[in-house]
Amino acid sequence: MVIQDMTREMSTEVLKGTHLGRIACAQDAQPYIVPFFFAYHDRFIYSFATAGTRVEWMRANPLVCVEVEKIAGRHEWQTVVIFGQYQELPETPEFHEERVFAHDLLARTEMWWEPGYVKTLHRGIERPLQHIFFRILIDQISGHQGIAG
């Protein structure tokens, strides 16, 4: 197997064809990483969540890292890493167009609202379903691929 760097164009092609990744945020010196569904467009990754640890931490520290992978086999894979900034799209008149755009972009993917908008129990208590649209402004993107050789 040979591992190669991917170009920015190759990395964005992986983002266009993938809708599941992992997003990492940090508070103080503690990292936190969770899977999330997303849609890529232009310089942004759009997503949807409900209130919880991830959103609280990203509000406090908007610097995040996203990892996306496409794995065909042990010797054939692509991994993309993004450093970016969390930008919430609040339910206000000034963000109406961005929220509609995010909704419409995400709605192109089947079951786009899961797991963010399903009944969630936290320590036995049902969490309110306050929906939050957000996007990640991509500051840096890089990728590597493994090729059978």
Domain extent for 117 = 2-147
Token digits for 99? 């929220």
For the chain, how many structural domains are there in total? Answer: 1
pLDDT at position 75: 92
Name residue 46's amino acid: Y
Tens digits of residue pLDDT in 1-59: 899 999 999 999 999 999 999 999 999 999 999 999 999 999 999 998 888 899 999 99
Buried b (16+ CB within 10 A) or exposed e, 71-82: eeeeeebbbbbb
DSSP 15-63: HHH--EEEEEEEETTEEEEEEEE-EEETTEEEEEEESSHHHHHHHH--E
Residue 116 maps to which CATH number? 2.30.110.10
Tens digits of residue pLDDT in 79-135: 999 999 999 999 999 999 999 999 999 988 865 555 555 556 556 766 666 789 999
Tens digits of residue pLDDT in 63-72: 999 999 999 9
CB 109, CB 36: distance < 8 Å? no
pLDDT at position 114: 54
